[in-house]
Structure 1
């Protein structure tokens, strides 16, 4: 696979690009990396106030962890979602943002997208460590599940990278892509069980009944790949139990499909990027 070959032959370039992304993001700031925690914390406070205090959504305690803290339940899904959107939006603009470099020097173009993904992974790792510490302080024994959380993070990284590779090419040809994706993510966010438990969707689905044959609203809803990732992370972090084999397999399949298709699309068009840009 060309993507793997590109990564192998440009490891030093990837390290330098990733370092540049990480350092450049918080250059000349007083708090530095602490700003990586500011946005998710602000979102947590706002969403907790609105959905836990005002609207009063109750996801129930984690089973078997017994955790019953809405803010932690929220962050177990919000942090993976934020990582996914950061990788896709950042990767999508990485080619356009490096237009001058692409036109002057030849190097594996995929390195730009991969470097953005690695930089986002660095920030996400810090956020997840803080979340694990918060869960431990809340009284849940999440440590035995941390290795599986790392595996789930790697699978989501592969899925996010695959989507980013596809959309980076689309954005190079059609600059409208970034605006369309912004709207898509806004809709996608509310169609993913981040702010509410999927049990609420199941209730409404049961009330509506089958749509076509035996197909229900819940069946269509669960076609969303981020629904599976959300369930896996919440099972491991909040519930402290293994996710279902079906959900775990769905995540792996989505990741493989995304990276294979994304890598193929990118490899097919990367040689023309200097002309297109």
Structure 2
């Protein structure tokens, strides 16, 4: 059974699960959904103070937008990263967290993972609208690029969901998975050009020279799929121009490969999930 058939037959369940996820995130909190803005804005403020004023990271002005505002440059990549980690972390615990439901009711288990992704997409959309408004206020010509931004948001959702599908199965059989992933994400964050531009890595790579053959540090660094997405979102929102064709194709390839691999792994283990839990 394909994923389309899985989800088409459980549309109402998927909708209810998504609503539950959205309402449950900030249940009984004073700010409610505003926390989806407060958390990334707090992170942006901290990183801006540290990296713009203390360590003094200075990315190039937007080309051709001419923008030179570190906080907005940072948010263009920080929000996609936050979405990715939220989807993966939430999806990784979706099966274990719904153990009772899985054991009692027969339904496509993938609905739990897709509902988690949809709920975080809802929060991310609010954050991106606020970012878009801020960019327009400071003079960026970001509105014409919104349709393409939505395309890359969809691609990133596929990437995150695919990774979550794989890790959710791993977490059922090996509960230490979530702890290893937490450590890995800390390392991955600083290996991604979110707080600093790729040009800094290119300079270091040039100083070091080839590692083996003609392969350089920069070549290995550019294998990071989130780095490609960060570049694409900055091109669209901050620079106001088309992403490079290579960047766009790389994002699409990573997203489709991760999603279909994750779906294949998930379907292979779906029947044994209730027993394993």
TM-score (norm 1): 0.99
Matching residue of 1:161 = 161
**Unaligned stretches of 5+ residues in structure 2:** none
Matching residue of 2:52 = 52
CA shift for structure 1 position 9: 1.2
Q: What is the rounded CA distance, in whole Å, between the counterparts of 2:193 and 2:104 in structure 1?
A: 45
Matching residue of 2:263 = 263
Matching residue of 1:85 = 85
Q: What is the rounded CA distance, in whole Å, between the counterparts of 1:212 and 1:36 in structure 2?
A: 44
The 3-state SS of whatever aligns with 1:27 is: coil
**Unaligned stretches of 5+ residues in structure 1:** none
1:111-162 Cα deviation digits (max 9, x unpaired) = 0010000000000000000000000011111011011001100000011110
Matching residue of 1:231 = 231
CA shift for structure 1 position 275: 0.2
CA shift for structure 1 position 8: 1.5
Q: What is the rounded CA distance, in whole Å, between the counterparts of 2:216 and 2:191 in structure 1?
A: 15
Matching residue of 1:244 = 244
Matching residue of 2:99 = 99
Q: What is the rounded CA distance, in whole Å, between the counterparts of 2:184 and 2:8 in structure 1?
A: 33
Matching residue of 1:206 = 206
CA shift for structure 1 position 4: 2.4
Q: What is the rounded CA distance, in whole Å, between the counterparts of 1:3 and 1:95 in structure 2?
A: 17
Matching residue of 2:121 = 121
CA shift for structure 1 position 32: 1.2
Matching residue of 1:2 = 2
CA shift for structure 1 position 167: 0.4
Q: What is the rounded CA distance, in whole Å, between the counterparts of 2:100 and 2:18 in structure 1?
A: 18
Q: Is the 8 A contact 1:2 1:263 kept in 2?
A: no
Q: Is the 8 A contact 1:163 1:259 kept in 2?
A: yes
Matching residue of 2:130 = 130
Q: What is the rounded CA distance, in whole Å, between the counterparts of 2:127 and 2:254 in structure 1?
A: 24
Matching residue of 2:176 = 176
Q: Is the 8 A contact 1:3 1:267 kept in 2?
A: no
Q: What is the rounded CA distance, in whole Å, between the counterparts of 1:21 and 1:51 in structure 2?
A: 34
CA shift for structure 1 position 210: 0.6
CA shift for structure 1 position 24: 1.2
Q: What is the rounded CA distance, in whole Å, between the counterparts of 2:126 and 2:187 in structure 1?
A: 27
The 3-state SS of whatever aligns with 1:271 is: helix
Q: What is the rounded CA distance, in whole Å, between the counterparts of 2:49 and 2:73 in structure 1?
A: 14
The 3-state SS of whatever aligns with 1:237 is: helix
Q: Is the 8 A contact 1:2 1:267 kept in 2?
A: no
Number of corresponding residues: 277
1:216 equivalent in alignment to 2:212? no
